[in-house]
Amino acid sequence: MSILKDTNSLKEFQVDIMGTKMVVDLDELMDIVKLDSEELTTKDDGTDKAPQYDYAINAAKYEMIRLFLDVLLSTNEEIDEKMGYRSLDNLSFPFKLSFNTLIEYKIIKEVN
C-alpha cells in the first residue's frame, strides 16, 4: 500500500508550528462565508414550482478572510520555533490581527 493512500500514516509528517500542529479548516471557512438561502417553492402568481436552491457567499466576509489568510501565508519574517508562542511578539500587527481573527472564527485550528 502506498503511503499516500493512507492519510493516517501521513499525520506523522505534519510540521509543528510554534510547538503545535495547525491547519486551515476549509469546512468552517465555507460555513462562515455561505449565505443562508431560502427555498423558493411558489411562483409570484401563487402556483407551485420545483424547489430551487441557491448557493451564495457573503462577499465582505469572504474578502476579509481571504485577506487575513493572504497576510498569514505571505509573511516572510523569521519565527524562532524554540521560543514557541513568545516568538509571535516580534511579528507585525497585520499578522497578529489575522492570526487571532482566524483562530477566533475557528478557521485555523489545532489538530491532535
Q: For 51-110, write each residue's pLDDT tens digit.
A: 555 678 899 999 999 999 999 999 887 766 666 556 677 788 999 999 999 999 999 999
The arithmetic mean of pLDDT across residues 35-61, rounded, is 70
Give me the number of domains the chain comprises: 1
Q: Is 9 inside a domain boundary? A: no
Cα–Cα distance for residue pair 19/100, rounded to 1 Å: 17
Which residue segment(s) compose the domain that 55 sits in? 15-110
User: What's the pTM?
Assistant: 0.69
Q: Is 6 inside a domain boundary? A: no
Which helix (H) or strand (E) segment holds residue 49: the answer is strand 48-52
Q: Is 32 inside a domain boundary? A: yes
Q: Is 4 inside a domain boundary? A: no
Q: Is 5 inside a domain boundary? A: no
Q: Is 84 inside a domain boundary? A: yes
Q: Is 3 inside a domain boundary? A: no
